[in-house]
Structure 1
Amino acid sequence: MGRHSLPEDSTGPDHSPRQDPTGSRSAARRRAVAICTAVVLALAIGAALVLRGALLTPMKSCASDAVRLGVAASPDIAPAVREVAERARSAQVRSDGRCLDVKVTSRASGDVAGALVKDGRDPGFQVWLPDSSVWVDRVSSSAPKAVPLDTLGGVASSPVGVAATPPAAERLGWPEKRYSWARLAGAATGSTDLRLGAADPARSATGLLALARVNASIAELGGGPGKGGPADTRAAAAAKLLSERTSDSDDQVLTTLPRDGSGAEEGNPRRNQALFLSEQAAYRHNTRAGDAPRLRLFYPADGTAELDYPYAVRGGDSVTTARARAATRFMTFLADAESRRILSRHGFRSASGKAVEEVARTAGGKAPQPYRAVPGSGPSSAELDTALGMWTITVQSARLNTVVDASASMSAPVPGRRGESRMDVTKASLLQALSQFTPEDEIGLWEFSRRLDGARDYRELVPTRRLGLSSADGSTQRDRLTAAFGALEPVAGGATGLYDTTLAAYRKARDGYAEGKFNAVVILTDGSNQDEGSISLGALVKELDRLTDPDRPVPLITIAVGPDADLSACEEIAKATGGSAQQVADPAQINAVILKAIVSASQAGTGTR
């Protein structure tokens, strides 16, 4: 039958294309619709699977391929940064296609700085967020060979002022009455008998910045710092009084305030009535005060200090490129609008220092207190070193033997100081340094050249004794030292007998060690050893190393004055005793260098036990 093998009625008349062309087109359409539907469904299912895979793949990468970033943050800002880190994690913020996984740990800024200076091991973080650039500068200046820190900018800020309890603030005329730093500190030593506390300036940037501001403010009243005038007397009195009411940390100092608002504890002499405090710390206290009195803030009229919260990224090979880029990405995330709102809710200003009205009011700021003023530049490194050096001396007391080069080269003129020799400028700087010490400090004076006292290269001019010690004629040790410093003169034709003098001075200081004081020998020289018959440098270093007793430390502080001084030898000598060596182009810098060296030795744990 060929192609007609089927009977004609086998499909019926409705299914015959020859008999019903219209029905044929309808069936074709139905088949097309069915095919299209199947294709669409297949495409939809495939698209869903692809979409699902696209959504799941990043989630999987965030869990398994995130770039992990460690941030060590100051305890005050750590909660806010941790909240921002959680937000970054939830939003799957990425760096180079990988999600950020930021772990924030709370670590005291001073502790981190100390660890970075002393310990070369990996500290366990890539980003450091201390409360102040003070700490970054200290690490950079104290450990030049350490892993470098690259500061990308500030994350937040908070001005430092004086927070007072309501009764104390009322007595001082808050908010209408405005004070300078000097007058606020003076209120603690004046008739108002304000009990003013602070965190230890050696451990707290808040305490140190406030102390430096007080010193600068007092100096502006007259006399100038280090001149032995009224400014020094007031600065020493403020530091001494403050040292009796210090706490180890910013959090601990807040516990010294009255614990309730009943007024019963206001008269308790063990409770502080006012504190050097940041705006953020006052904000945090007031928001959690409960029954405790809410603080009132005085913003000093001569400019507040400022905590600037620098974002410092560790450099060097210890941080991978991926983590370094992630650190930069997290910094930009911290600066976006929502992150700034989070920081503000925790009581911080932006890095620009612009006041946040709600934060300032909650912290206790109120017009006409100048809380809207943007803090200016902070104290210089030299001002901070001077303040901290003075503080160390005030709190700890010192026993120093000062050994001054009297060789002929000390008569050389100082460039830029018409008519003044190295010895002239050295004497003025030593007198300036002397004014920083208290009556309880013990200071002595030697001079040295070559064959200065018979066969000896050195001569004791004033024995090391307490500055307040009086003689039968009524003069004090300070008077005798002042006269001896003023009488120092270069020895005509005198050479430099540095090594024998150093050994003799160290032995004498070691034998006269005073428990509980900062013990040290300060040697100033402008040359190199010129005594051919003296001990060699290698033998001197070996003997100093043998004499050094960790339980009775006496660091040597060597100061190389001018370009001809043997800095390398000074460094070897100082290192053997746990001390330090500094070179100064101008002898006028000697005072600041001595104070800085005392601070460095004290922080390193040498000089006192």
Structure 2
Amino acid sequence: MGRHSLPDDRAAAGGGDRPPRRLRTVAIATVLVLAVAGGAAVAVQGGLLSFSKSCEEDAVHLSMVASPDIAPAVRAIADRARTDEVRSDGRCVDVNVVARDSYKVADALASGARPDYQMWLPDSDLWLTRAKGAGDGTAITPGGSVATSPVTLAAVPRAAEHLRWPKKTYTWAELTGAAMESGRVRLGSADPARSATGLLALNSIGASARKQGGDSDTRVAATAKLLAQRMSDGDTQVVATLPQDGSGAEAGNPARNQVVLLSEQAAFAHNAESAADGKLDLFYPEDGTPLLNYPLTMVDERHQSTDESRAALRFTILLSEDSSLRTFREHGFRTTYGAADEKVVAAAGGRSPQPYDATQPPAPTDEALQETLGLWTITVQSARLTTVVDASGSMAATVPGRNQSRMDVTKASLIQALDQFTPNDEIGLWEFATRLDGDKDYRQLVTTAGLGDPVKGGGTHREKLAAAFAALRPVPDGATGLYDTALAAYKEAQRTYVKGKFNAVVILTDGSNQDERSISRSALVEELKSIADPTRPVPLLAIAVGPEADREELDEIAKATGGGGYQVNDPAEIQAVILQAVMTAGQGARAAGE
């Protein structure tokens, strides 16, 4: 939208200083007041307010999908814009606001679906990364934040008293640990794969646990396992698990949670509709409350007309005006930079000395969130992975900037990745290069088994697998026998499929197929498509390591099985990419089963 001047921009900015992420505020000095014959404008079906005749004939109609928590506030602003007949280039702006879960919108955009809306307001910018997918989805243009809300831990009065609210303060790790220790307190969460609140909270728990030291990954996995047992699909559903009278366990209903991971705004909305003994008390962890930041995002701008683009910009400006900020506050939201409002905090259940007005920590990186989500996916649904590693001679090449070969860095990354898997996860190891085992291009080194299983001679399968990773060596003069290996590994994973686990084949290669005797790429893709069984999914996750690897080739092969191709220029990135690939394929498998 930067190619246009501001529509109907006739006044200077106002409202005081604004932070860098805030949308620029332009005060509209002229309010158009039109007399409507026969009385005031009336509400029409669907909550939309009628325009005067002049507006109805020439309005610019736009659609916005918004996170369900903020949709009522934005809808109120859109309705007021109709009443006031807010204009863009002389034409009235008519915005229809539809509530839709952010994860559903992100997944649809990532798939390249043609949207029927021009604007999107998710509850967090983490969904923007998901919506971009591999870069071939519907184009989006991120804008600034319109409001914020901190992620907290909400408790019904009995549970809050047990946790010594409000005087007792905790870190994230201490707070969830205290909730887990008591049989009288049941902790629930929305699914981190579908809820920004759940994912940001889980990421904060993990970061807090790492600061404690010790076996932090095990503690975080234990917390994730507990949350998974009392997980709800989304934020609306997790609120519905709370008891209405504040009693919880004493009422004898084990289906009810007493403590939940929740945004301040969600607690505000819950308390507004609850009787006194059903209101929530909020804990604000000492090590910071991450923010939902509601970034206004333009969608598929190249297919918007100039009038639509300028009207969308006009509505963007409207959302940052003082009247709109008051509307957001009335609905329980904070300012765009997270400053606490005493009335909002009190209504939501916050009270001093809980640090509700402390400075928020820096937003987590995309990489940190991907790792957390990968850990969640693996923890909640145990994985069964066949790891297939390229042992061709090119793996002996030195990694730029490192005094190590591709194979050495790959091995180290795989060993590190093992730490993210639980004892119940099953992992095996193959290696491949041309004529590695007689006429075969592949060889199984370690059978697929539970990492916690004991092995002959002592130790665990995890230790055996780590030793096998460490022992991998490039085969001198060995070429890349990719196609036959991919087919054989896939068939074996299908044959040994374990129901109830996330079954997948992970292939790592630094080149394209070099075995002229093998099946062709087109024949391989067709056979994979023909034998893939959606009732027993085994996605192939193919990772191209280094600049010589052909990601497009790998992606074509992997997509035939419901998987995907990924690229890493530095083998040290493999650990994070494996977690991302498992998470993405795991979500796809679950969505296909719904």
What is the TM-score when the length of structure 1 is the normalising length? 0.86
- Report how far residue 264 of structure 1 moved: 6.7
Tell me the distance in 2 between the aligned counterparts of 1:261 and 1:193: 13
Moved more, 539-548 or 382-391: 539-548
Bigger CA drift: 196-205 or 424-433?
424-433
Mapping for residues 267-282 of structure 1, pairs under 5 Å: 268-282=253-267
Question: 3-state DSSP class of the match of 1:604?
Answer: helix
Aligned partner of residue 394 in structure 2, secondary structure: helix
* 2:301/2:309 contact within 8 Å kept: no
Aligned position for 1:236? 221
Q: CA deviation at 1:316?
A: 3.5
Q: Residue 188 of structure 1: SS of its match in structure 2?
A: helix
Q: How many residues align?
A: 548
Gaps of 5+ in 1: 1-50, 224-229
The question of 1:475 aligning with 2:475 is answered no
Secondary structure at the aligned position of 2:244 is classed as: coil
Compare 83-92 and 163-172 and name the one that shifted more: 163-172
**CA–CA distance in 1 between the matches of 2:236 and 2:189?**
10
Deviation at 1:192, TM superposition (A): 7.1
Q: Aligned to 2:126, which of 109, 126, 134? A: 134
Distance in 2 (alpha carbons) for counterparts of 1:572 and 1:146: 16
The reply to whether residue 72 of structure 1 matches residue 65 of structure 2 is yes
Instruction: Summarize the Cα distance change of 1:127–1:374 in structure 2 as closer, same or farther, 3 Å threshold.
Output: farther
| Kept after mapping to 2: 8 A contact 1:515/1:608 | no
User: 1 CA distance for matches of 2:246 and 2:518?
Assistant: 71
What's the offset of the Cα at 1:371?
Answer: 0.9
Secondary structure of the corresponding residue to residue 339 of structure 1:
helix
Task: Quote the Cα distance in structure 2 between the aligned partners of 1:106 and 1:299.
Answer: 28
Moved more, 492-501 or 384-393: 492-501
Structure 1 residues 475, 328: CA separation in 2 closer, same or farther (over 3 Å shift)? same
Q: Residue 176 in 1 paired to residue 160 in 2?
A: no
Aligned-residue RMSD, C-alpha: 2.3
Secondary structure, counterpart of 1:61 in structure 2: helix
Q: 8 Å contact 2:158–2:247 — kept in the other structure? A: no
In terms of mean alpha carbon deviation, does 431-440 or 60-69 score higher?
Answer: 431-440
Shift in CA distance, 180/553, structure 1 to aligned 2, threshold 3 Å = same
- Map 1:183-198 → 2, pairs under 5 A: 183-190=174-181, 194-198=185-189
Q: Deviations over 1:538-595 (max 9, x none)?
A: 2222222222222222211111111122223212211222211111111111111011
SS in 2 for 1:401: strand
- Cα deviation digits, residues 497-550 of structure 1 (max 9, x gap): 112111111111122222222221100011222222222222222222222222
Q: Relative to 1, partners in 2 of residues 1:438 and 1:526: Cα closer, same or farther, differing over 3 Å?
A: same
- Residues in 1 aligned to 2:529 and 2:248: alpha-carbon distance in whole angstroms: 58
Q: In the alignment, what sits opposite 1:567?
A: 551
Query: How is 1:16-35 mapped onto 2 (pairs within 5 angstroms)?
Result: none
Q: In the TM superposition, what whole-angstrom CA distance separates every residue of 1:332-366 from its partner, at most 9, and x where no partner exists?
A: 11111111111101000111211111001111111
Q: For 1:27-426, what aligned pairs fall within 5 Å after superposition?
A: 59-118=52-111, 120-121=113-114, 123-142=115-134, 144-190=135-181, 194-222=185-213, 230-261=215-246, 265=250, 268-290=253-275, 292-418=277-403, 420-426=404-410
SS at match of 1:359: helix
The aligned amino acid for 1:246 is: M
For 1:489, the equivalent position in structure 2 comes to 473
Amino acid at match of 1:397: S
TM-superposed CA distance for 1:168, in Å, is: 2.1
Shift of residue 402 of structure 1? Answer: 0.4
Report the counterpart of residue 37 of structure 1 in structure 2.
none
Given that 2:398 and 2:405 are in contact with CA atoms closer than 8 Å, whether structure 1 keeps it comes out as yes
Which amino acid is 1:381 matched to?
Answer: D
What is the rounded CA distance, in whole Å, between the counterparts of 1:263 and 1:528 in structure 2? 59
- 2:13 aligns to what? none
**Which residue number in structure 1 is paired with residue 438 of structure 2?**
454
Match of 1:529 among 513, 523, 538: 513
- Structure 2 CA distance, aligned partners of 1:232 and 1:544? 36
**Aligned counterpart, 2:7:** none
Percent of pairs with identical residues: 58
Tell me how far apart the structure 1 counterparts of residues 454 and 111 of structure 2 sit (CA, whole Å).
42
Cα distance, 1:484 vs structure 2: 1.3
Provide TM-score, normalisation by structure 2: 0.88
Q: In 2, Cα distance between the equivalents of 1:498 and 1:90?
A: 64
Q: How has the CA–CA distance of structure 1 residues 270 and 463 changed in structure 2, closer, same or farther, with 3 Å as cutoff? A: same
Deviation at 1:291, TM superposition (A): 5.2
SS of alignment partner, residue 202 of structure 1: coil
Q: Following TM superposition, by how much is the alpha carbon of 1:276 offset from its aligned partner in structure 2, in angstroms?
A: 0.8
Any idea what the Cα deviations from partners look like across 1:102-159, whole Å, max 9, x if unmatched?
A: 11111111121222223523x32111111111112210134x2333111221111000
Q: Given that residues 519 and 607 in structure 1 are in contact (C-alpha distance below 8 angstroms), is that contact kept between their aligned partners in structure 2?
A: no
Alpha-carbon distance in 2 for matches of 1:398, 1:131: 30
1:287 and 1:608, CA in 2 relative to 1: closer, same or farther beyond 3 A?
closer
Give the letter for the 2:581 counterpart: A
Give yes or no for the alignment of 1:580 onto 2:564.
Answer: yes
Gaps spanning 5+ residues in structure 2: where?
1-35, 42-50
- Aligned mates of 2:590, 2:99 — CA distance in 1: 28
Structure 2 residue aligned with 1:226: none
- Structure 2 counterpart of 1:405, which letter? D
SS at match of 1:285: helix
Any conservation in 2 of the 1:72–1:127 contact (CA below 8 Å)?
A: yes
Output the CA distance in 2 between the equivalents of 1:246 and 1:327. Answer: 37
Report the AA paired with residue 309 of structure 1: Y
Corresponding letter in the other structure for 1:78: A
8 Å CA contact 2:249–2:256 kept in 1: the answer is: no
Query: SS at the partner of 2:445?
Result: strand
- Distance between the aligned counterparts of 1:560 and 1:217, measured in 2? 33
1:542 aligns with 2:526: yes
Shift of the 586–300 alpha-carbon distance from structure 1 to 2, 3 Å rule, reads: same
Q: 1:269 to 1:127 in 2, by over 3 A?
A: same
| Cα contact 2:248–2:257 (8 A) shared by 1 | no
| Equivalent residues of 1:553, 1:607 under 8 A apart | no
CA distance in 1, matches of 2:188, 2:130: 24
* Distance in 2 (alpha carbons) for counterparts of 1:264 and 1:218: 28
Contact 2:157 2:277 in 1 (8 A): no
Residue pair 1:73, 1:105 contacting (<8 A) in 2 also:
yes
CA contact (8 A) 1:69 1:103 kept: yes
SS at structure 2 position matched to 1:265: helix
Q: Which amino acid aligns with 2:430?
A: W
Post-superposition offset of 1:598: 1.3
**Alpha-carbon shift at residue 408 of structure 1 (Å):** 2.0
**AA in 1 matched with 2:124:** S
